[in-house]
Structure 1
Amino acid sequence: MEENKDWRDIYFSRDYYLYLAKHLTPERTRKEVDFLESTLAIKRGYLILDLGCGFGRHTLELGKRGYRAIGIDRSEDLIEIAKEEAKKEKVFNVEFYIMEYKDIEKLGYKFDVVFSLYTSFGLSTYEEDKEAIEKVYNILKKGGKFLIDIENRDALLRYFIPYSWDILNDYILLTEHHFEPESGYYISNRLVFDLKNNTKKEFVRKIYLYTPSEIAHILEEKGFTIEKFIGDYDGKRFHIGSRRLIVVGTKK
C-alpha cells in the first residue's frame, strides 16, 4: 500500500476501471438509467448531476438519450477515462469535472435532478457526507429530486460473507471483509491478481453503512422531504433483505 495516500485515490484508479469495465455491461447501464428516468421523472430540458460518476457510464448514457448531464468525481483517473469515452462516442452534451462533493456549488448551476449511485455516500466521514447533502440541497431547484443509492446494511450483515473471490476479465479478485460494529464501518481488503501481466496489487475499501433512519434523518435535517425508499434497480419496495437502499428526497 502507498503510505500517506487517501485510500480512495488508490482504490478508484485506472486499475478499478480495467477490472470492472467489462463486468459493468452497457445493458446493465441502460437498465439502471431506465430506472433513473422512471423514478425521478426526468424530462427533456432537465439539467442532471451525477455525483461520484466514476468513469461516467450513467452520465454518458443520459447524454446519449439527449439529456444535458454533468458528472463529478474526486478521481483524476476515472474522470480522464470518462472524458475519453465521451470523445470516442461523440457525446457532446455531457461535462466531467474532478471535484469534491463539498465544492459542487462552484459549478454555478441549479439542477433539476441529482443522483449518487453505488455507495458514493459512506466513503467519506459522517460529517463530510452531511456537508455534501447540504450542498446538494443548495444546488437543486425547488421541487428538484435527489436520489442516493447505498448498500443495505441489514442485508449485508444478515448474509455476511467474510471472504469472497471473483474472476473478472484477466483479473482474479480475492477479498476479505469485516465489519466494525462500534464505528459502523465495513472494510474490504482486496488482492487483485493481473493474470496478463503476472502482477499483484492490494486495495482497501472502507465504507460507513447507513441505516435507513440515519440517511433519512440527515436528508430531512438538511431540508429534504423523503419521497420513497426503494430496494433495488427493479423498483421494488425496500425491505430488510433488499440488495440496495435507495432513497429519494425532494427539495421543499
Structure 2
Amino acid sequence: MPLDPEAFDVEGTFEVSDYHYFYDPLLTEERSEQEVALIWRLLGLQPEVPVLDLACGYGRIANRLAARGCRVSGLDQSVAFLAQARAEAGQRGLAVDYRQGDMRSLPAEWTGRFAAVLSWFTSFGYFSDEENHQVLAEIARVLQPGGRLLLDLQNRERLLRESQRTRVLERDGAWQIDQLRYDVLSGRLHTRRVILRDGRQRETHFFVRLLTLPELADWLRQAGFSRVEAYDEAGAPFSLESRRLLTVATR
C-alpha cells in the first residue's frame, strides 16, 4: 500500500537501525560534547537543575546533561530509542527519568517541575499548527515561572534560499535519498525518503513546519513566554545567514 504523501510516517522515519547507520557518523562524540556545552551556556544550567529533554531520542544529549549533574527527564515516542537511552544511562551510572509519551500531552505530574526544557535537533514542528501550538502550551505548563525553553530549528530563510530538490547520503554502498518539497500554503517542508541498504529498499515520508523568527516568537508569546532571544548554531546572534535558529524563551 503506498504511503499517504501528507502523513508523517513516524515509525519509518525513526527506524532505529537505519537512523544510527546514517546519522552516527555525523553525530560524533566531539560534536555531541560541543552541543551540550552550548546548551549548558544558553540555558544557564547548573548541577541539580531539573531539565526536560523533549523528543530525547536515544539520550545523546540527556545522558550528557545528567553526567554534568543536572536532574534530567527525557520524553520520546520511540520505545526502541528509549531502551537505548536507558541502557547507556545504566552503563554510565546515571539517573535519568525516561518516559515514553506524546509531547502534545505531557504527564500531569510534571506541571511546574522544570527549570529548563530542551528541544534539540529539529524536534519541533511535526504536527498541525494547532497541535504545534499545543506542544508549546504544554512546555509552558511544565516549566517553573522564569524557566527557559531552548528550541533548535533550521533557519527557514537560508534553507529555502539554498534548497535542493534532492539530498543524498552515502555510506559504504548504502544510500539515503531525500526528495524535498516545500508547501507554501502550510509552511511545511515535506521529505520523501528512500533508503537502499543491505539489498533492501524502503520508503518513508515526514515533514516539518518551517518558521521565521518573528512567527516563532509570536507563537511563543501566545503560549505564555515573555522574552525570546535568538542565536545561531555557535551561540552568536542569529542572522539570515545562520544555519540554525536557536531560540531561548523565558516563561
TM-score (norm 2): 0.91
The superposition leaves residues 164-210 of structure 1 with CA deviations (integer Å, 9 ceiling, x where unpaired) of 2112466321111111112211111111121xx22222121211111
Segments of 5+ residues of structure 2 without an aligned counterpart are: none
Confirm or deny that 1:43 pairs with 2:46: yes
Within a 5 Å distance, the mapping from 1:23-62 to structure 2 comes to 23-62=26-65
The answer to whether the 8 Å contact 1:62/1:69 transfers is yes
Confirm or deny that 1:99 pairs with 2:129: no
Partner residue, 2:25: 22
The superposition leaves residues 118-160 of structure 1 with CA deviations (integer Å, 9 ceiling, x where unpaired) of 2211111111111111111111111111111111111111001
The answer to whether the 8 Å contact 1:112/1:144 transfers is yes
The answer to whether the 8 Å contact 2:46/2:69 transfers is no
Q: Which amino acid aligns with 1:42?
A: L
Q: Which amino acid aligns with 2:137?
A: E
Q: CA deviation at 1:9?
A: 2.3
Confirm or deny that 1:85 pairs with 2:88: yes
Q: State percent identity of aligned pairs.
A: 27
Partner residue, 1:205: 206
Q: Which amino acid aligns with 2:86?
A: K
The answer to whether the 8 Å contact 1:133/1:219 transfers is yes
**Rounded Cα–Cα distance in structure 2 between residues aligned with 1:30 and 1:58:** 8
The answer to whether the 8 Å contact 2:232/2:238 transfers is yes
| Alignment partner of 2:77 out of 54, 74, 81 | 74
Q: Count matched residues.
A: 247
Q: Which amino acid aligns with 2:200?
A: T
Q: CA deviation at 1:36?
A: 0.7
**Rounded Cα–Cα distance in structure 2 between residues aligned with 1:174 and 1:221:** 37
Q: CA deviation at 1:213?
A: 1.3
**Rounded Cα–Cα distance in structure 2 between residues aligned with 1:77 and 1:94:** 16
**Rounded Cα–Cα distance in structure 1 between residues aligned with 2:75 and 2:15:** 15
Say if 1:169 and 1:128 are closer, same or farther in 2 by CA, change over 3 A: farther
Q: Which amino acid aligns with 1:122?
A: G
**Rounded Cα–Cα distance in structure 2 between residues aligned with 1:148 and 1:116:** 5
**Rounded Cα–Cα distance in structure 2 between residues aligned with 1:159 and 1:3:** 28
Q: Secondary structure at the match of 1:132?
A: helix
Within a 5 Å distance, the mapping from 1:210-249 to structure 2 comes to 210-232=211-233, 234-249=234-249
Say if 1:18 and 1:166 are closer, same or farther in 2 by CA, change over 3 A: closer
Q: CA deviation at 1:91?
A: 3.5
Bigger Cα displacement from structure 2, 106-115 vs 35-44: 106-115
Q: Secondary structure at the match of 1:17?
A: helix
Partner residue, 1:7: 9
The superposition leaves residues 45-86 of structure 1 with CA deviations (integer Å, 9 ceiling, x where unpaired) of 100000111111000111122222111111222212212222
The answer to whether the 8 Å contact 1:105/1:138 transfers is no
Within a 5 Å distance, the mapping from 1:88-237 to structure 2 comes to 89-108=91-110, 110-168=113-171, 171-194=174-197, 197-232=198-233, 234-237=234-237
Q: Secondary structure at the match of 1:57?
A: coil
**Rounded Cα–Cα distance in structure 1 between residues aligned with 2:149 and 2:122:** 14
Bigger Cα displacement from structure 2, 100-109 vs 133-142: 100-109
Bigger Cα displacement from structure 2, 29-38 vs 94-103: 94-103
Q: Give the RMSD, CA atoms, in angstroms.
A: 1.9
Q: Secondary structure at the match of 2:11?
A: helix
Q: CA deviation at 1:2?
A: 7.1
